[in-house]
Amino acid sequence: MRLVAVQKVALTDLGFETLAFKMWDLLVNLCSRLVDYESEAPWYSRLEACFEDSNLDELMPMLEAVREETYKGWLKKIKSREYQKYVRRLLGSGSFDLLKAALFEDLALFALVSRGAVRAMVPFCAAMQDAMGVLQEADLQFVPGVDVASLHVLDLAIKGELSLNCFIKRNGPSLASLDRSNDSWAGDAEMLEGLARRWVSVSARRKVRARNAHLARKMRGAREALLHSVDGVSQAANSIIELIDRLLRSYPDAYVLNWVDKYVPDAEEELSYLVEDTRRPTKRAQALCLLSGGMNVMKDEHGSRIRLLELPVDVVLTARKNLQRIKHADDGSAGERAEVAALLTGVEAALMLLLTIGDLRVHMAQEQQAQSA
């Protein structure tokens, strides 16, 4: 926030602690670095440089001492008409208007960065919503007190993007040179939803193709069979089941069993079984190992597995079970064809999430090894 307007008064006269101004300055600095398109450094290097420039040794203890009520108090104060009248009297109308314009321009910069993050998340929200469509409501009780099944995450993300876009255009005209909007985002919500779902489908096929080009053809073949084949339901169901089974065998059985023993030994009965005295991993174990990239399962601060992040595993296994049922019952009805099409969409979405998370876990582990070497 530009403080030219308040140079004639002490910042503390505005009724805020020095920490509030330091936090705001750090936030604006971070946002400015993120939209610095002339820099050749990757975004995370620019953020690191920003933190290096800030006196974090002084700031962090102050941040840790601030309670949630303090932040709420700051927000309540700045929204108060009485407080705004006080600052206008303190600064004078001209300086107050300059300060207010600077504040909203800083907020528009923050909105610009937030919009970029929301846009990046829209395809993942589409994938999450389509994946959840495969599960029953009873299987979606991931977060206590939250009705996950009723959350239309894609709709919320798109509405959030549109609201941020309106705020930026209304309050940040000077940011036009930093707004690298993609014209494809200028459409309505329905068009954005279609774009997001196409991105999910293409991304899923690319990630599968990176592992096995033949399996990527299975995905395309399943959809074409539903559209053009008389026996499309059975053919598509078989193709999707084979796709799932072969992807789940990405890691050898011995590797998956070692992974179970190392990271989730308390779930041995759930994740392994015996066949003629030979121990084998269950499909859930294979899927969890793939989701984790062979690393530890994702846990919360209490050491419990984060069930919400295991959603792609639940979807893939549930879809496989349903496809097996349809394959054997196959009556070629329009209802079955529609159900298989919905399951294929859910599987594509779940695989996109599962393989993205798994690849990210592997990449993070490689980065840590490189830094420690």
> Final residue of a domain: which of 55, 70, 91?
91
Q: How many domains does the chain have?
A: 2
CB-side neighbour CA atoms (13 Å) of 249: 9
For residue 326, give Cα distances in angstroms to 7, 138, 240, 334: 73, 22, 12, 12
Place of tokens 């600064």: 91
**What pairs with residue 278 in β-bridges?**
275
How many CB atoms sit inside 10 A of residue 174's CB?
A: 11
Task: Please answer whether residues 300 and 221 qualify as being in contact, where contact means their C-beta atoms are separated by less than 8 angstroms.
Answer: no
Of 121 and 3, more confident: 121
pLDDT of residue 373: 63
Domain assignment of residue 133, yes or no:
no
Q: Across all residues in the chain, what is the average pLDDT?
A: 82
Range of 16's domain? 1-91
Would you say 15 and 77 are in contact if contact means Cβ atoms under 8 Å apart? yes
pLDDT of residue 187: 57
Instruction: Give the integer Cα–Cα distance in Å for 267 and 253.
Output: 16
223 is a domain residue: yes
Q: Is-contact 193 158, C-beta < 8 A?
A: yes
Taking the whole predicted model, whether its pTM rises above 0.75 is answered as: yes
- In percent, the amount of the chain with pLDDT more than 70 equals 84
Q: Is 146 helix (H, G, I), strand (E, B) or coil?
A: coil
| 3-class secondary-structure state, position 27 | helix
Which residue among 60, 91, 122 closes a domain?
Answer: 91
pLDDT tens string 170-201: 876 666 556 655 545 555 677 778 888 888 99
What's the pLDDT score for residue 320? 96
Q: Which of 21-25, 205-209, 242-246 has the lowest mean pLDDT?
A: 21-25
What does the pLDDT look like over 42-73, one tens digit per residue? Answer: 776 777 777 776 666 666 666 666 677 777 88
Give a yes or no: residue 130 inside a domain: no
Of the three residues 73, 91, 109, the one that is the final residue of a domain is: 91
What's the token pair of residue 336?
């079955």
Q: Is residue 20 part of a domain?
A: yes
CA nearest neighbour of 6 among 78, 96, 84, 75: 96
